[in-house]
Amino acid sequence: MAGLLLKKYDGKVPNTLEELINLPGVGRKTANIVLATVFNKDVIGVDVHVHRISNRFGIVKTKKPEETEKQLMKIIEKKYWKKLNIAMVSYGQTLCFPRNPECNKCPVKKYCMQIGL
């Protein structure tokens, strides 16, 4: 990838989703994380945590992460988009596990529909 960046982009990381996802090994989530953190763009990086937790809470009802991204962009205020991934990843790694989530310790349990549990 380094060679490709040097050759095609003059050594600079591209700043569009389309260009980033065309790089080898870069998917939509990684591209969006780069856009948010490196280029300060308002995007939502949807990984397994964001997808699972959004569906578990009943915020969205989607089958694929890309669908989750589109739905979240419709309902979450833009000012929160960049921080949504890191917040949900942290939450998913500490409380809202895929199996055996620690609902009894969850500070936002009353807002969760617990879909899939």
Of 10, 47, 83, 105, the active-site residue reads 47
29 carries an active-site annotation: yes
79 carries an active-site annotation: no
Look-up: residue for tokens 């694929």? 64
Q: Judge whether 61 and 55 are in contact, CB under 8 Å.
A: yes
Looking at the annotation, which residues are catalytic?
29, 47
